[in-house]
Amino acid sequence: MKHLDVWVTGKVQGVWFRASTKETADRLGLVGTVRNEPDGSVSVEGDEETLAALLQWLHEGPPLAEVSGVNSSFSALKHYKEFTISR
């Protein structure tokens, strides 16, 4: 199990980015949170292969998003229990 922090830049507000990220994370069986921030901040935990799948999805985002960049880094586990949307 690993923890990944991700920052997504571009048009990620007002395009269902958070809800779509939660839906994708839930489908993949990941835990963590996506925050209501202009940079599309995501903190997520899971195995490396599944984290890579979410990271790939984040490069595109939902249909109305216009992702211009994705940065990520591994950090210490926070032991999330589920995937949530933080306001």
48-58 and 17-28 helices cross at what angle (nearest 10)?
150
Query: Is 87 a catalytic site residue?
Result: no
Q: Which of 27, 35, 36, 71 is catalytic?
A: 36
Question: Residue 4 contacts by C-beta under 8 Å, 6 or more apart in sequence?
Answer: 42, 43, 44, 45, 51, 55, 72, 73, 74, 75
Catalytic residues: 18, 36
